[in-house]
Amino acid sequence: MTAAQTSRPAPVSAGRGAHPPASRRPRARRVKLGQVRLALLLLLPAAVVVFGVVLYPAGRALVISFYAVDSPFPGTYPFVGLRNYTEVLADRRLWTAVEHTFYFTAVSTALELVLGLGLAKLLAAPLRMRWLFRAVVVLPWALPTIVNGAMWRWILNAQYGVANALLTTLHLQDGYRSWLGTDPFLALNMVVVADVWKNTSLVAFFLLAGLQTIPQDLYEAARVDGAGPIRSFFRITVPLLLPSIALVLVLRTIEAFKVFDIVYVMTGGGPASGTQTVTFFTYLQAFSAQRFSVGAALAYLTVLTILALALLYLRLLRQAELSAP
């Protein structure tokens, strides 16, 4: 993570990696303390904005996960320790939801990353009418998720959807088929399609910003050295883009784990619970059933899982970053 470094690894190019001169060291302690104070000050707005809002609800959720709270009112509830956690971990429906979530997260994040990378390069490329292309690329990202879900549900409708109509007219399929109604796995994949269609643009724009930090002269130097476009892509672009890739990976993973709106609108969790993800399951427990403690336990289990995944990514990408030549 670049945040921990103030400059890029030296071997990549000249003039980018100088460290502070030795003469600074005697004053290091005083400078460091001043830096800590300044850092706290600068981070204060963000801390207030985020933790000011989240701390009490998150704290309360954590606390009630150890009690048996089944109504929204404050009151006396029995303390049950880890029972909510063990109960929810023993529920087979949770594990099915976990399977679906992992599949959804892995496939949609991978697709979004790969397609987003290509799209980012395209956004930076010298196209004619670039402004129009960029506007077009923002469109799916700008479409509200609930409309996106309703739209795909409409397009894929088994009885009168345009996908069926188109494919049948073009003789690519024999007759109308059900995309969201009978085959749970197919339905899950369709939710992936809807999600990737919308969110690849987000990934592309973040990666585009990351691409902007790579100086063009690196590519020039590589070309002079005889490297083709593919080689320079893998040797220059990807390594220098790792911080952005890491950010995008973690961001999309978190959001894929938290995915709710699109499932809610497109399939409602069906068919045969085939598109139920962990967050949807949490919604059903925490709200529909008013079992708030179980919902809170689920939420923290989700957080732990995502955190583990995020740390894993960062560890892997950090290692990849260091081993790049």
Partner 1 sequence: MAENIGELSRRGILRLSALAGAGLAVGACDVGGSGKGDGGGQGTGEGKITALFMKQAGYSEDDINAMTAEFQKAYPKITVEPSFVAYEALHDKIVAAAPAGTFDVVLIDVIWPAEFGSKRIVTDVSDQFPASWKTGMLGGALSTASYHNRYYGVPWILDTKYLFYNTDMLARAGVDPASLSTWDGVLAAARALKDKNVVELPLVWSWKQAEALVCDYTQLVGAFGGKFLSDDGKSVAFNSGGGLRALEFMKQTLDAKLSNPNSMESLEEDVRKIFSDGQAAMALNWTYMFNAANDPQQSKIAGKVGVATTPAGTSGGPGVNGSMALSVSSGSKNQKAAWTYVSYMTSAGVQNKYAKSSLPCWSTSYDDSQVVAALPQVVPVAKKQLASLIERPQVPRYNEISLILQAELQNALLGKKTPQKALDDAAGAGRSLLS
Partner 2 sequence: MRPTRGYRIFIHAAALVTSIVILAPFAWLLYSSVVGQTDLVSRPMRWVPEHVTLARYREIFAGGGTSAGAAFRAAMVNSVLVGAGTVLVSLTAGVLGGYALARLRFPLRRTTLLSFLVAYMLPPITLIIPMYLLMSRFGLLDTKAGLIVVYCSLATPFALWNMSNFFGSLPAELEDAARVDGCSRLGALVRVILPLSRPGIMATGLYAFLLCWDEFLYSLIFTSTSQAKTIPVAIAEFTGRNAVDFGLIAAGGLLASLPPVVLTIVFQRYLISGLATGAVKG
For residue 185, give Cα distances in angstroms to 172, 182, 213.
21, 9, 40
Spacing of C-alpha 264 from chain mean position: 19
| Beta partners for residue 122, in sequence order | none
| Beta partners for residue 79, in sequence order | 67
Residue 277: helix, strand or coil by DSSP?
coil
Residue 180 makes contact with partner 2 by CB under 8 A: no
**Chosen residue from 113, 271, 310, 313 binding partner 1 by CB under 8 A:** 271
Residue 289 makes contact with partner 1 by CB under 8 A: yes
Q: Exposed, middle or buried, 318 (CB in 10 Å: 0-12/13-18/19+)?
A: middle
* In contact, 177 and 157? CB cutoff 8 Å: no
Could you give the string, one character per residue 67-106, with x where binding to partner 1 holds by CB under 8 A and - elsewhere?
Answer: x-xxxxxxxxx---------------x-------------
Residue 113 makes contact with partner 2 by CB under 8 A: no
Per partner kind, with CB cut-offs from 5 to 8 A, the member of partner 2, partner 1, none near residue 32 is: partner 2
Span 35-54, contacts to partner 1 by CB under 8 A: 51
* In contact, 192 and 107? CB cutoff 8 Å: yes
Residue 169 makes contact with partner 1 by CB under 8 A: no
- For residue 143, which amino acid is it? L
Per partner kind, with CB cut-offs from 5 to 8 A, the member of partner 2, partner 1, none near residue 43 is: partner 2
Per partner kind, with CB cut-offs from 5 to 8 A, the member of partner 1, partner 2, none near residue 241 is: none
Q: Exposed, middle or buried, 3 (CB in 10 Å: 0-12/13-18/19+)?
A: exposed
**Chosen residue from 9, 13, 17, 60 binding partner 1 by CB under 8 A:** 60
CB of 167 to partner 1, least distance (A): 16
Per partner kind, with CB cut-offs from 5 to 8 A, the member of partner 2, partner 1, none near residue 260 is: partner 2
Q: Which is nearer to partner 1, 215 or 268 (CB)?
A: 268
* In contact, 140 and 228? CB cutoff 8 Å: no
Q: CA 129, CA 75: separation in Å to the nearest integer?
A: 62
Residue 67 makes contact with partner 2 by CB under 8 A: no
Residue 315 makes contact with partner 2 by CB under 8 A: no
Pick the closest to residue 106 from 188, 171, 162, 4 (CA basis).
Answer: 188
* Interaxial angle between packed helices 184-211 and 238-257, expressed in degrees from 0 to 180 and rounded to the nearest 10: 140
* In contact, 225 and 219? CB cutoff 8 Å: no
The CB-side HSE value for 289 (13 A sphere, CA atoms) comes to 14
Q: Which is nearer to partner 2, 46 or 90 (CB)?
A: 46
Per partner kind, with CB cut-offs from 5 to 8 A, the member of partner 1, partner 2, none near residue 290 is: partner 1
**Chosen residue from 176, 178, 271, 324 binding partner 2 by CB under 8 A:** 176
Residue 51 makes contact with partner 2 by CB under 8 A: yes
Segment contacting partner 1 by CB under 8 A, of 111-119, 154-162, 220-228, 235-243: 154-162
Q: CA 34, CA 31: separation in Å to the nearest integer?
A: 5
Segment contacting partner 1 by CB under 8 A, of 8-16, 98-106, 177-185, 193-201: 177-185
Q: Which is nearer to partner 2, 135 or 272 (CB)?
A: 135
Task: Point out which residues bind partner 1 (CB under 8 A).
Answer: 4, 51, 55-64, 67, 69-77, 93, 157-160, 178, 180-182, 267-273, 284, 287-291, 318, 322
